[in-house]
């Protein structure tokens, strides 16, 4: 289990893996603000506000929550489609699957593509093995985080610290939030 300070340094040093994946998916550069440590975090600390979005959990020695607001998720999904459906990379053999999913234009399916694409880079950046939970669309970030925290980390509050990393992409006018939780 990484300490709070080492987790913060680890994410800051290795966030390029996450950024590189977002670049590969969207064809546009993503930047991250300085990660910050939150003691005894509440869902309000994620600062993504109310509204619909797509989110997913990774669980393991640490737990990670990734949230894309609706507009950002859709913008990234469209960029993903344009970049990879006609491209000659490893996504080509999944063209029909990707087209079918993006054609539905649902947040849960967008989250599914993003989650599976981010799984390995996120695990590498954190230096731990992570298991992806089922991505889901969510209405209102706070309620979804509370519900998921109860399921994933224990209703008694099994987490004590979160590292919050806001990421943004000017070209797509898109943002996402990555929060990493340490268990007690």
How would DSSP label each residue in the chain?
A: ---HHHHHHHHHHHHHHHHHHHHHHHSS--EEPPPEEEES--GGGG---SSEEEEEEEESSEEEEEEEEHHHHHHHHHHHHHHHSSS-STTGGGHHHHHHHHHHT-HHHHHHHHHHHHHHHHHHHHTS--EEPPPEEEESHHHHHHHHHHHHHTTTT-EEEEEEEEEEETTTTEEEEEEEEEE-
Per-residue pLDDT of the chain (184 residues; tens, 9 = 90+): 456 566 566 666 656 666 776 777 667 777 766 655 555 555 454 444 334 555 556 666 566 666 666 666 666 666 655 555 554 455 445 555 554 554 444 445 555 666 666 667 667 666 666 666 655 444 444 445 545 554 544 444 455 556 666 677 777 777 776 666 655 5
Q: Which domain holds residue 44?
A: 4-183
Q: pTM higher than 0.85, yes or no? A: no
Task: Give the model's pLDDT for residue 94.
Answer: 55
For residue 65, what is the domain's CATH number? 3.40.1550.10
Total number of domains constituting the chain = 1
């Amino acid at each position: 289990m990484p300490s709070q300070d080492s987790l913060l340094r680890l994410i800051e040093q290795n966030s390029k893996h996450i950024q590189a994946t977002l670049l590969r998916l969207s064809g546009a550069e993503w930047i991250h603000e300085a990660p910050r440590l939150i003691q005894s975090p509440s869902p309000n600390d994620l600062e993504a506000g109310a509204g619909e979005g797509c989110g997913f959990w990774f669980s393991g020695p640490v737990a990670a929550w990734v949230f894309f607001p609706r507009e950002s998720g859709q913008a990234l999904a469209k960029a993903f489609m344009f970049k990879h459906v006609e491209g000659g990379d490893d996504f080509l053999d999944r063209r029909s699957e990707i087209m079918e999913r993006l054609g539905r234009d649902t947040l849960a399916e967008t989250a599914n593509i993003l989650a599976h694409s981010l799984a390995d880079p996120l695990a590498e950046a954190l230096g731990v093995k992570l298991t992806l939970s089922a991505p889901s669309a969510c209405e209102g970030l706070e309620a979804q985080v509370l519900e998921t925290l109860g399921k994933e980390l224990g209703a008694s509050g099994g987490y004590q610290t979160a590292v919050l990393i806001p990421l943004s992409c000017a070209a797509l006018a898109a943002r996402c939030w990555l929060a990493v939780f340490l268990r007690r």
